[in-house]
Protein backbone atom coordinates (compact mmCIF):
# COMPACT_ATOMS: atom_id res chain seq x y z
CA UNK A 1 0.00 0.00 0.00
CA UNK A 2 2.82 2.38 0.94
CA UNK A 3 4.62 1.40 -2.25
CA UNK A 4 1.53 2.25 -4.35
CA UNK A 5 1.08 5.61 -2.61
CA UNK A 6 4.75 6.42 -3.19
CA UNK A 7 4.27 5.91 -6.96
CA UNK A 8 1.26 8.25 -7.17
CA UNK A 9 2.03 11.44 -9.08
CA UNK A 10 -0.04 14.37 -7.90
CA UNK A 11 -1.20 17.03 -10.32
CA UNK A 12 0.97 20.18 -10.35
CA UNK A 13 -0.79 21.95 -13.23
CA UNK A 14 -4.02 21.80 -15.20
CA UNK A 15 -4.54 21.87 -18.97
CA UNK A 16 -7.57 23.74 -20.32
CA UNK A 17 -9.52 22.24 -23.20
CA UNK A 18 -11.23 25.61 -23.68
CA UNK A 19 -14.22 26.21 -25.92
CA UNK A 20 -12.73 24.81 -29.12
CA UNK A 21 -9.66 22.97 -30.39
CA UNK A 22 -9.94 24.35 -33.95
CA UNK A 23 -7.42 27.18 -34.63
CA UNK A 24 -9.85 29.10 -36.86
CA UNK A 25 -12.64 28.86 -34.29
CA UNK A 26 -10.23 29.89 -31.54
CA UNK A 27 -9.28 33.04 -33.46
CA UNK A 28 -12.94 33.98 -33.98
CA UNK A 29 -13.69 33.28 -30.30
CA UNK A 30 -10.64 35.33 -29.25
CA UNK A 31 -11.83 38.39 -31.20
CA UNK A 32 -15.39 37.97 -29.94
CA UNK A 33 -14.50 37.54 -26.26
CA UNK A 34 -11.88 40.30 -26.37
CA UNK A 35 -14.62 42.62 -27.64
CA UNK A 36 -16.96 41.38 -24.88
CA UNK A 37 -14.28 41.95 -22.22
CA UNK A 38 -13.40 45.47 -23.39
CA UNK A 39 -17.11 46.33 -23.62
CA UNK A 40 -17.64 45.00 -20.08
CA UNK A 41 -14.80 47.02 -18.58
CA UNK A 42 -15.64 50.21 -20.52
CA UNK A 43 -19.40 49.95 -19.92
CA UNK A 44 -19.06 49.38 -16.19
CA UNK A 45 -16.46 52.13 -15.84
CA UNK A 46 -18.87 54.53 -17.57
CA UNK A 47 -21.66 53.56 -15.15
CA UNK A 48 -19.35 54.09 -12.14
CA UNK A 49 -18.12 57.45 -13.47
CA UNK A 50 -21.60 58.78 -14.31
CA UNK A 51 -22.94 57.83 -10.87
CA UNK A 52 -19.98 59.45 -9.10
CA UNK A 53 -20.19 62.80 -10.92
CA UNK A 54 -23.99 63.13 -11.11
CA UNK A 55 -25.48 64.49 -7.82
CA UNK A 56 -28.97 63.16 -8.63
CA UNK A 57 -27.65 59.60 -8.58
CA UNK A 58 -26.23 59.77 -5.05
CA UNK A 59 -28.88 57.38 -3.69
CA UNK A 60 -28.73 53.87 -2.15
CA UNK A 61 -29.89 52.25 -5.40
CA UNK A 62 -26.99 53.72 -7.37
CA UNK A 63 -24.53 53.12 -4.53
CA UNK A 64 -25.33 49.41 -4.91
CA UNK A 65 -25.16 49.70 -8.71
CA UNK A 66 -21.66 51.20 -8.41
CA UNK A 67 -20.61 48.19 -6.36
CA UNK A 68 -22.20 45.84 -8.90
CA UNK A 69 -20.34 47.51 -11.78
CA UNK A 70 -17.00 47.34 -9.92
CA UNK A 71 -17.75 43.71 -9.06
CA UNK A 72 -18.45 42.84 -12.71
CA UNK A 73 -15.08 44.27 -13.74
CA UNK A 74 -13.35 42.14 -11.08
CA UNK A 75 -15.36 39.04 -11.98
CA UNK A 76 -14.60 39.09 -15.70
CA UNK A 77 -10.95 40.05 -15.12
CA UNK A 78 -10.53 36.94 -12.98
CA UNK A 79 -11.52 34.64 -15.85
CA UNK A 80 -11.52 36.23 -19.31
CA UNK A 81 -7.81 37.27 -19.68
CA UNK A 82 -6.78 33.69 -18.87
CA UNK A 83 -9.25 32.39 -21.46
CA UNK A 84 -7.98 34.85 -24.10
CA UNK A 85 -4.38 33.87 -23.39
CA UNK A 86 -5.22 30.18 -23.85
CA UNK A 87 -6.96 30.87 -27.17
CA UNK A 88 -3.87 32.41 -28.82
CA UNK A 89 -1.06 30.81 -26.83
CA UNK A 90 0.44 27.38 -27.36
CA UNK A 91 0.61 26.72 -23.63
CA UNK A 92 -2.92 26.23 -22.32
CA UNK A 93 -1.96 25.40 -18.75
CA UNK A 94 -2.31 26.89 -15.28
CA UNK A 95 -0.38 25.86 -12.17
CA UNK A 96 -2.21 24.17 -9.31
CA UNK A 97 -1.65 27.27 -7.16
CA UNK A 98 -2.81 29.57 -9.97
CA UNK A 99 -5.92 27.43 -10.42
CA UNK A 100 -6.66 27.59 -6.68
CA UNK A 101 -6.35 31.41 -6.69
CA UNK A 102 -8.54 31.79 -9.78
CA UNK A 103 -11.13 29.40 -8.38
CA UNK A 104 -11.24 31.27 -5.05
CA UNK A 105 -11.68 34.76 -6.48
CA UNK A 106 -14.02 33.69 -9.27
CA UNK A 107 -16.30 31.91 -6.80
CA UNK A 108 -16.06 34.82 -4.33
CA UNK A 109 -17.07 37.42 -6.92
CA UNK A 110 -19.91 35.22 -8.18
CA UNK A 111 -21.22 34.80 -4.63
CA UNK A 112 -20.94 38.54 -3.93
CA UNK A 113 -23.07 39.22 -7.00
CA UNK A 114 -25.75 36.83 -5.71
CA UNK A 115 -25.91 38.54 -2.30
CA UNK A 116 -25.69 42.03 -3.79
CA UNK A 117 -28.60 41.35 -6.16
CA UNK A 118 -30.61 40.27 -3.11
CA UNK A 119 -29.69 43.50 -1.30
CA UNK A 120 -30.70 45.55 -4.35
CA UNK A 121 -34.09 43.80 -4.43
CA UNK A 122 -34.63 44.68 -0.75
CA UNK A 123 -33.70 48.29 -1.56
CA UNK A 124 -36.40 48.41 -4.27
CA UNK A 125 -38.90 46.84 -1.86
CA UNK A 126 -38.31 49.53 0.78
CA UNK A 127 -38.38 52.32 -1.85
CA UNK A 128 -41.75 51.22 -3.26
CA UNK A 129 -43.52 49.67 -0.27
CA UNK A 130 -42.26 52.03 2.47
CA UNK A 131 -41.29 55.25 0.65
CA UNK A 132 -41.80 57.52 3.69
CA UNK A 133 -39.30 55.49 5.73
CA UNK A 134 -36.86 54.85 2.86
CA UNK A 135 -34.21 57.41 3.82
CA UNK A 136 -34.32 56.24 7.45
CA UNK A 137 -34.13 52.50 6.71
CA UNK A 138 -31.65 52.71 3.79
CA UNK A 139 -29.30 55.28 5.30
CA UNK A 140 -25.65 55.54 4.28
CA UNK A 141 -24.42 53.50 7.26
CA UNK A 142 -26.86 50.66 6.59
CA UNK A 143 -25.94 50.55 2.88
CA UNK A 144 -22.21 50.36 3.66
CA UNK A 145 -22.83 47.58 6.21
CA UNK A 146 -24.89 45.62 3.64
CA UNK A 147 -22.09 45.85 1.08
CA UNK A 148 -19.44 44.83 3.65
CA UNK A 149 -21.55 41.82 4.69
CA UNK A 150 -22.01 40.86 1.02
CA UNK A 151 -18.26 40.87 0.35
CA UNK A 152 -17.15 39.35 3.68
CA UNK A 153 -19.67 36.49 3.76
CA UNK A 154 -18.87 35.58 0.15
CA UNK A 155 -15.09 35.60 0.62
CA UNK A 156 -15.42 33.41 3.74
CA UNK A 157 -17.86 31.01 2.04
CA UNK A 158 -15.59 30.70 -0.98
CA UNK A 159 -12.65 29.95 1.32
CA UNK A 160 -14.53 27.06 2.96
CA UNK A 161 -15.55 25.59 -0.41
CA UNK A 162 -12.02 25.93 -1.77
CA UNK A 163 -10.47 24.29 1.30
CA UNK A 164 -12.78 21.27 0.89
CA UNK A 165 -12.08 21.16 -2.88
CA UNK A 166 -8.30 21.51 -2.68
CA UNK A 167 -7.83 19.04 0.18
CA UNK A 168 -8.84 16.25 -2.20
CA UNK A 169 -6.07 14.31 -3.98
CA UNK A 170 -5.67 15.08 -7.70
CA UNK A 171 -3.52 12.28 -9.05
CA UNK A 172 -5.17 11.26 -12.33
CA UNK A 173 -5.98 13.34 -15.38
CA UNK A 174 -5.08 17.03 -15.29
CA UNK A 175 -7.17 18.02 -18.33
CA UNK A 176 -9.92 20.51 -17.41
CA UNK A 177 -12.85 20.50 -19.82
CA UNK A 178 -13.42 24.19 -19.19
CA UNK A 179 -12.00 27.64 -20.01
CA UNK A 180 -11.21 28.57 -16.37
CA UNK A 181 -10.85 26.87 -12.99
CA UNK A 182 -14.33 26.37 -11.54
CA UNK A 183 -15.24 24.12 -8.62
CA UNK A 184 -17.56 21.67 -10.49
CA UNK A 185 -15.03 21.08 -13.29
CA UNK A 186 -12.06 20.72 -10.90
CA UNK A 187 -13.96 18.27 -8.67
CA UNK A 188 -14.38 15.90 -11.63
CA UNK A 189 -10.60 15.38 -11.68
CA UNK A 190 -10.30 14.31 -8.03
CA UNK A 191 -9.17 10.70 -7.68
CA UNK A 192 -11.34 9.98 -4.64
CA UNK A 193 -14.96 10.24 -3.50
CA UNK A 194 -16.17 13.87 -3.73
CA UNK A 195 -19.61 13.46 -2.13
CA UNK A 196 -18.71 15.37 1.06
CA UNK A 197 -17.28 18.30 -0.90
CA UNK A 198 -20.30 18.30 -3.22
CA UNK A 199 -22.54 18.44 -0.13
CA UNK A 200 -20.56 21.42 1.21
CA UNK A 201 -20.88 23.18 -2.17
CA UNK A 202 -24.63 22.50 -2.19
CA UNK A 203 -25.11 23.80 1.39
CA UNK A 204 -23.22 27.03 0.69
CA UNK A 205 -25.10 27.37 -2.60
CA UNK A 206 -28.32 27.36 -0.58
CA UNK A 207 -26.94 29.95 1.87
CA UNK A 208 -25.31 32.32 -0.64
CA UNK A 209 -27.33 31.68 -3.80
CA UNK A 210 -30.79 30.40 -2.91
CA UNK A 211 -31.49 32.51 0.21
CA UNK A 212 -30.77 35.83 -1.59
CA UNK A 213 -32.85 34.52 -4.50
CA UNK A 214 -35.69 33.81 -2.05
CA UNK A 215 -35.31 37.38 -0.72
CA UNK A 216 -35.61 38.65 -4.30
CA UNK A 217 -38.76 36.60 -4.94
CA UNK A 218 -40.39 37.77 -1.68
CA UNK A 219 -39.36 41.41 -2.31
CA UNK A 220 -40.83 41.44 -5.80
CA UNK A 221 -43.99 39.64 -4.68
CA UNK A 222 -44.53 42.40 -2.09
CA UNK A 223 -43.65 45.05 -4.70
CA UNK A 224 -46.18 43.59 -7.14
CA UNK A 225 -48.92 43.61 -4.49
CA UNK A 226 -48.06 47.21 -3.61
CA UNK A 227 -48.09 48.27 -7.28
CA UNK A 228 -51.48 46.63 -7.88
CA UNK A 229 -52.93 48.70 -5.03
CA UNK A 230 -51.80 51.96 -6.65
CA UNK A 231 -54.64 53.99 -8.18
CA UNK A 232 -52.45 55.93 -10.60
CA UNK A 233 -51.37 54.21 -13.84
CA UNK A 234 -48.39 56.57 -14.04
CA UNK A 235 -47.38 55.60 -10.50
CA UNK A 236 -47.58 51.89 -11.34
CA UNK A 237 -45.47 52.39 -14.47
CA UNK A 238 -42.82 54.41 -12.60
CA UNK A 239 -42.61 51.82 -9.82
CA UNK A 240 -42.23 48.93 -12.26
CA UNK A 241 -39.71 50.79 -14.43
CA UNK A 242 -37.35 51.23 -11.46
CA UNK A 243 -37.39 47.44 -10.98
CA UNK A 244 -37.21 46.33 -14.63
CA UNK A 245 -33.42 46.66 -14.99
CA UNK A 246 -32.65 44.82 -11.76
CA UNK A 247 -35.15 42.05 -12.50
CA UNK A 248 -33.64 41.50 -15.97
CA UNK A 249 -30.15 41.11 -14.45
CA UNK A 250 -31.49 38.74 -11.76
CA UNK A 251 -33.09 36.44 -14.35
CA UNK A 252 -29.92 36.35 -16.48
CA UNK A 253 -27.48 35.74 -13.62
CA UNK A 254 -29.50 33.57 -11.23
CA UNK A 255 -31.03 31.41 -13.92
CA UNK A 256 -27.62 30.13 -15.02
CA UNK A 257 -25.88 30.17 -11.60
CA UNK A 258 -28.59 28.09 -9.88
CA UNK A 259 -28.61 25.63 -12.79
CA UNK A 260 -24.81 25.23 -12.50
CA UNK A 261 -24.33 24.97 -8.71
CA UNK A 262 -27.56 23.50 -7.34
CA UNK A 263 -27.74 20.28 -9.31
CA UNK A 264 -25.89 16.96 -8.76
CA UNK A 265 -22.51 16.71 -10.48
CA UNK A 266 -23.48 13.31 -11.90
CA UNK A 267 -26.29 14.96 -13.90
CA UNK A 268 -24.25 17.85 -15.25
CA UNK A 269 -23.14 17.96 -18.85
CA UNK A 270 -19.48 18.87 -19.25
CA UNK A 271 -19.86 20.74 -22.54
CA UNK A 272 -23.16 22.25 -21.41
CA UNK A 273 -21.50 23.53 -18.24
CA UNK A 274 -19.06 25.64 -20.27
CA UNK A 275 -21.89 27.29 -22.21
CA UNK A 276 -23.78 28.04 -18.99
CA UNK A 277 -20.62 29.46 -17.39
CA UNK A 278 -20.19 31.88 -20.32
CA UNK A 279 -23.54 33.46 -19.45
CA UNK A 280 -22.77 34.32 -15.81
CA UNK A 281 -19.05 35.05 -16.22
CA UNK A 282 -19.01 36.93 -19.54
CA UNK A 283 -22.45 37.76 -20.96
CA UNK A 284 -24.21 39.05 -17.82
CA UNK A 285 -21.37 41.39 -16.69
CA UNK A 286 -21.24 42.76 -20.25
CA UNK A 287 -25.01 43.29 -20.45
CA UNK A 288 -25.41 44.84 -16.98
CA UNK A 289 -24.31 48.38 -17.95
CA UNK A 290 -26.37 48.20 -21.17
CA UNK A 291 -29.46 47.05 -19.27
CA UNK A 292 -29.11 49.70 -16.58
CA UNK A 293 -28.41 52.48 -19.07
CA UNK A 294 -31.05 51.57 -21.68
CA UNK A 295 -33.88 50.65 -19.28
CA UNK A 296 -33.21 53.29 -16.61
CA UNK A 297 -34.36 56.84 -17.36
CA UNK A 298 -32.24 58.40 -14.59
CA UNK A 299 -29.02 56.80 -15.87
CA UNK A 300 -29.86 57.69 -19.49
CA UNK A 301 -30.54 61.29 -18.51
CA UNK A 302 -27.34 61.53 -16.46
CA UNK A 303 -25.34 59.95 -19.29
CA UNK A 304 -26.68 62.48 -21.81
CA UNK A 305 -25.89 65.29 -19.38
CA UNK A 306 -22.32 64.09 -18.85
CA UNK A 307 -21.74 63.69 -22.61
CA UNK A 308 -23.08 67.18 -23.43
CA UNK A 309 -21.23 68.81 -20.54
CA UNK A 310 -17.85 67.10 -20.56
CA UNK A 311 -17.44 65.69 -24.09
CA UNK A 312 -19.38 67.87 -26.50
CA UNK A 313 -18.70 71.13 -24.64
Interval 253-293: pLDDT, tens: 877 777 766 665 544 555 557 788 888 888 888 888 887 77
pLDDT tens across 207-256, in order? 888 888 899 889 888 888 888 887 777 767 776 776 777 777 888 787 77
DSSP, res 174: -
CB 73 within 8 A of CB 112: no
The upper half-sphere exposure of residue 210, i.e. CA atoms within 13 Å in the direction of its Cβ, equals 12
- Identify the burial level of 311 via C-beta atoms within 10 angstroms of its C-beta, where 0-12 means exposed, 13-18 middle and 19 or more buried: exposed
Cα distance from N-terminal residue to C-terminal residue, the chain: 78
Q: What is the 3-state secondary structure (H, E, C) of 114-144?
A: HHHHHHHHHHHHHHHHCHHHHHHHCCHHHHH
Q: What is the rounded CA–CA span in Å between residue 307 and residue 252? A: 29
Amino acid sequence: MDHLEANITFVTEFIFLGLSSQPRAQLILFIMFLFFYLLTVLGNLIIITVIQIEPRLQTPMYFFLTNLSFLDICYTTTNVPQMLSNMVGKKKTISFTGCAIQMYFSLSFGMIECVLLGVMAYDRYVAICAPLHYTVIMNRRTCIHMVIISWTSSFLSSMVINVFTLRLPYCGSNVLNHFFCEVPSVLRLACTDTSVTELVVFIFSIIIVFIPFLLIVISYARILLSVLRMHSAAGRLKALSTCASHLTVVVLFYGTAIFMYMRPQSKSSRSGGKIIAIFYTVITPMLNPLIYSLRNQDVKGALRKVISKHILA
